[in-house]
Amino acid sequence: MTQHQTQSPQFFLTAPSPCPYLDGQYERKVFTHLVGDRAPEMNDLLTQGGFRRSQNIAYRPACESCRACVSVRILANEFKLTRNMRKVIQRNSDLIGAMHDAEPSTEQYSLFRTYLDSRHRRGGMSDMTVLDYAMMVEDTHVDTKIIEYRKRGPDSFITGKGHGELIAVALTDKMADGVSMVYSYYNPELVDRSLGTFMILDHIARTRAMGLPHVYLGYWVNGSRKMDYKVRFTPQEHLGPKGWERYVAPSD
């Protein structure tokens, strides 16, 4: 019997496990591998279809009794800053974000561990070693970048690089129609800076500067307080049964 190689990805289904967002629920995921020359093209298609990337895996929820996870993307070209967002940008005007190839560093891992130990001590990533972190950054077959945010130095405008200590980091995929924020973390002691919000605003500005329409934020879970921040960045679209549709916030 002759075997023919197929270009179509193979999909797999995980076993049920407790949902990290909604108490009493169980999650399952459908996933496939993103490897080879077609990985960037496949990542674009799957992200547009509601998948997320983790290392060389693309996955999306496939829960049997719940549809709470909704894919969200910001319409970068139509985005308007709120008054509070302008204040966040002003508070962080002393920072500069430098984009690099996806290469890990000990300085990144130190900040990553501080962030996890403060914000996600009991999360699924809490026991990640420096080697695990390196794999999270390096194990990619798509166009992945690291953006490091540091305080501006006296020569920042000349070199394009920051000067001070590392304050925040974003792991980001560049795609044909925008960017996908894979993972971000920051110094948890700098609460007043609202660094999570600032990094999203910076990605919106970068995406608009590239002439691309979308910033993919991953999943919003209605009913999960830790996900509420995602719907503040409007206008945005949510992926539903009819495809991507403009999100309209419920009235009070």
Q: What is the CATH number of the domain that holds 143?
A: 3.40.630.30
Q: Is residue 4 part of a domain?
A: no
Q: Tokens 């971000």 identify what position?
A: 184
Residues 31 and 123 grouped into a single domain: no
130 phi and psi angles, rounded to 5 deg: -65, -35
184 and 79 both lie in a single domain: yes
Distance CA 21, CA 239 (A): 19
Instruction: Give the rounded percent of residues in the chain with a pLDDT score beyond 70.
Output: 90
pLDDT tens figures, 171-194: 999 999 999 999 999 999 999 999
Do 83 and 39 form a contact (C-beta atoms < 8 A)? no
Is the per-residue pLDDT at 2 higher than 80?
Answer: no
Q: Is 247 left (phi over 0), alpha (psi -120 to 50) or beta?
A: beta
Whether residue 127 is contained in a domain is answered as: yes
| Structure confidence at residue 162 (pLDDT) | 60
Beta strand residue intervals within 28-155, DSSP E:
29-33, 52-54, 57-61, 69-75, 95-101, 144-151
- Strand, helix or coil at 195? helix
136/32 same-domain check = no
32-49 pLDDT per residue, tens: 999 999 999 999 999 999
Dihedral in degrees, nearest 10, Cα atoms 147, 149, 150, 153: 70
Distance CA 27, CA 47 (A): 19
Residues 219-252 pLDDT 10s? 999 878 888 999 999 999 999 999 999 998 775 4
One-letter amino acid of 16: P
Domain identity same for 117 and 189: yes
- Would you state the structure tokens that stand for residue 135, as one six-digit string? 């794999």
In the chain, the largest separation of any two C-alpha atoms, in whole Å, equals: 68
pTM for the model stands at: 0.90
Give kind and range of the element (H or E) at residue 237.
strand 236-240
Q: Are 52 and 60 in contact (CB under 8 A)?
A: yes
Domain that holds residue 138: 73-246
Asked whether residue 1 is assigned to any structural domain, the reply reads no
Q: Are residues 92 and 119 in the same domain?
A: yes
Among 21, 41, 69, the domain boundary falls at 69
* Residue 128: count of CB within 10 angstroms of its CB: 17
Question: Do 26 and 101 have their domain in common?
Answer: no
Question: Mind listing the pLDDT tens digit for each residue in 82-94?
Answer: 999 999 999 999 9
Judge if 91 and 124 occupy the same domain: yes
The band of 125, judged by pLDDT with boundaries at 50, 70 and 90, is: confident
Q: Is residue 3 part of a domain?
A: no
CA geometry: angle 199, 200, 202, nearest 5 deg: 65
Is 140 within the bounds of a domain?
yes
